[in-house]
Amino acid sequence: MTDDLQKLRKIIAKTFRKAKRWYLAYLVSQFIILLIGVISMFVAISPSLSAMLAFLGVLAIEVL
């Protein structure tokens, strides 16, 4: 019984670590996408290029 509980705790801990790592990558990518949007307002970047970069950023985080 305790061996099963130890295995379950290890699985939960591993899943939690993966979720934390994914969420951190998600937050970083969202910040980069926001930064691209803000920079594109002040620099002469076309809105379509800015939207494409944001879209590619979202796709990249979904692949990870």
More confidently predicted of 50 and 15: 15
Residue 64: pLDDT band with limits 50, 70, 90: low
Structure tokens at 33: 């996408």
23-60 tens-digit pLDDT: 888 888 888 888 877 887 888 778 788 788 878 877 87
Cβ(33)–Cβ(58) under 8 Å? yes
Residue owning tokens 């061996």 = 3
Burial class (CB in 10 A: 0-12, 13-18, 19+), 38: exposed
DSSP code of residue 43:
T
Q: Identify the pLDDT of residue 1.
A: 66
Q: Is the pLDDT of residue 14 over 90?
A: yes
Query: How many CB atoms are located within 10 Å of the residue 22 CB?
Result: 12
